[in-house]
Each structure stands twice: as structure tokens, then as C-alpha cells.
């Protein structure tokens, strides 16, 4: 089987525990690029953050961000976007407030939140990232901006019962896609936004068949793209459900799991 495209999740997959890309992984990606393989970042992160890491890897390929709610081509033009409709966004925000759970949401380049959380601010200002954080007080005020695209909501809480109950309530709202990337979060997008849908769209645009695709991920939000790909790979540190649903399990993100996949299936080195 000749693979032509590798879709790689970022957190817990491409990035190690220090939020870095290891030298071995960078070298493996460079060698894959030299063989004509398309490397596509497929992340739940905000687009601007994904761009920063794509630049670090010198990738000139499309980027799938916000779990597929927005996709840009190699020239950084938006080719697919599915923002939440305003009425759905209002329902999502209202439920978040009812439960008293912290949330923020993304457009193309900014993070919007109704409260300042230092840990979140630090996360988006570290590792060469400088993502703008815009605070707001009134939901209606922010939603009145007709030019605002809301691509993804992220809810965070360590109370699993509360988070699970919120997920059940979200599931009663038609038009939403609900998933997660960490144990203590929920991610909410338009129902037409998922990594699997986004990857299928890209492959159709690039004339690449499913069996020519490798997808690598670690969390629930990666399941749809692992199911689409000819070879769905779970990280060694991945969720158990991801491992169960994958075709192959590689090493952890701290053990160069992504590099090992590329070396085995693209470069022919099984060391």
C-alpha cells in the first residue's frame, strides 16, 4: 500500500509532554516530505496555534483546525468552514452558565472567554504562541458581532459528573457535534465539523483515496479520522477506546510515537 497523506493530531500525539516536537519526529517528517508525502496537522486547537507549529515544521500543506470546523489550504486560504449558528451558540453558552462550568471559544485567531484563567492564558502564551484572548461580560454583546465565526467551544471542569450531565444536555440539542480531547473537557462544534469529515473533504480535494491515508491520534476527537483513514494509528498514551478502534498502536508521544509510524510505514525502517 502506498500512502500519500499523513494526518497528525497535535496534543498528546505530535507534541510531547513538554509541548514540543522532538528532533526525531522532525527528522522523520522531513524525510516523509522528501518522499512526497503530504503532512496535514489535524487538531482541535485554534487555527492560529496550528499555523505556528506548521511553520516550525516548514509544512506547506493544508491545516485542519478546531476539529475540522475550519480548514485552510497550502496558501493559507480558508477552503472549508462550519461555524456554529448564533442561535446554537446561545444555547451552548446558556447551558455552560447554568452548570457554572468554565468555557471559551475560538474564531480563526482569537480565544474568547467571559473570565480570565491564568492557566489558560499561560497555555496560549507559551512555546512561541501569542494567541489573543478577548474577555467579554455579556453573551449577547459578543454574539451581536455578525462577523464573528464561532468554530469551537471548549468546556473545562474536573467534576466528571457535572461534565457528563452537561454532555447529556448538549446531546438533546440538534445540530451539535460533541466530543473531547482530555478527560476533563468537552468540545462543541457544528454537526458538520469533525476531523473525519474534514479529512474526507481534503482527500476529495487532493484526489487521495482513503487507503492512501494514515491518521494518528490519541483522543476521542480523533476517532472519526482514524475510522476514515486506511491506517488508523493510536498513540501508546491514547485513550483505551482509541486503541480499541485503531488498526495499529504506536509508542507514546514521549517515545517518538509519530516518528516510529513514519519510519515503519513510509521510510521502511522498523527500528
Residue range(s) occupied by CATH 3.30.1240.10 in the chain: 86-190
Considering the chain, what is the average pLDDT of its residues? 93
pTM of full prediction above 0.75:
yes
DSSP 188-206: EEETT--HHHHHHHHHHHH
Which stretch of DSSP H or E encloses residue 20?
A: none
Superfamily of domain 5-81+194-265 in the CATH hierarchy? HAD superfamily/HAD-like (3.40.50.1000)
Residue 221 pLDDT level (bands cut at 50, 70, 90): very high
Q: Which residues pair with 102 in a beta bridge?
A: 156
Residue 6 pLDDT level (bands cut at 50, 70, 90): very high
Q: How confident is the model at residue 129, as a pLDDT?
A: 62
Strand bridging mode 5-8 / 213-217: parallel
Q: Does domain 86-190 match CATH 3.40.630.30?
A: no
| Span of 32-46, 52-66, 93-107, 114-128 with lowest mean pLDDT | 114-128
Q: Which residues pair with 80 in a beta bridge?
A: 71
Residue range(s) occupied by CATH 3.40.50.1000 in the chain: 5-81+194-265
Q: How confident is the model at residue 145, as a pLDDT?
A: 81
Amino acid at each position: 500500500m502506498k500512502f500519500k497523506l499523513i494526518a497528525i493530531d497535535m496534543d498528546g500525539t505530535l507534541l510531547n509532554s513538554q509541548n514540543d516536537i522532538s528532533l526525531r519526529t522532525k527528522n522523520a517528517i522531513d524525510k516523509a516530505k522528501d518522499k512526497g508525502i503530504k503532512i496535514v496537522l489535524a487538531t482541535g486547537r485554534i487555527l492560529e496555534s496550528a499555523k505556528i507549529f506548521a511553520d516550525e515544521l516548514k509544512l506547506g500543506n493544508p491545516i485542519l483546525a478546531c476539529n475540522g470546523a475550519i480548514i485552510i489550504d497550502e496558501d493559507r486560504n480558508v477552503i472549508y468552514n462550519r461555524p456554529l449558528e448564533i442561535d446554537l451558540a446561545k444555547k451552548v453558552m446558556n447551558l455552560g452558565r447554568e452548570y457554572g462550568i468554565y468555557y471559551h471559544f475560538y474564531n480563526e485567531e482569537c480565544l474568547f472567554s467571559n473570565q480570565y484563567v491564568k492557566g489558560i492564558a499561560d497555555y496560549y502564551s507559551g512555546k512561541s504562541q501569542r494567541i489573543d484572548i478577548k474577555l467579554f461580560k455579556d453573551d449577547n454583546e459578543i454574539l451581536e458581532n455578525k462577523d464573528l465565526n464561532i468554530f469551537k467551544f471548549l468546556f473545562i471542569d474536573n467534576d466528571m459528573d457535572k461534565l457528563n450531565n452537561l454532555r447529556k444536555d448538549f446531546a438533546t440539542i440538534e445540530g451539535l457535534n460533541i466530543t473531547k480531547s482530555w478527560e476533563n473537557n468537552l468540545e462543541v462544534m457544528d454537526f458538520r465539523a469533525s476531523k473525519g469529515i474534514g479529512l474526507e473533504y481534503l482527500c476529495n480535494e487532493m484526489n487521495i483515496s482513503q487507503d492512501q491515508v494514515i491518521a494518528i491520534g490519541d483522543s476521542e476527537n480523533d476517532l472519526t479520522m482514524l475510522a476514515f483513514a486506511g491506517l488508523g494509528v493510536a498513540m501508546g498514551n491514547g485513550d483505551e477506546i482509541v486503541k480499541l478502534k485503531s488498526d495499529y498502536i504506536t509508542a507514546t508521544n514521549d517515545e517518538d510515537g509519530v516518528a516510529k509510524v513514519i519510519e515503519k510505514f513510509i521510510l521502511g525502517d522498523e527500528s
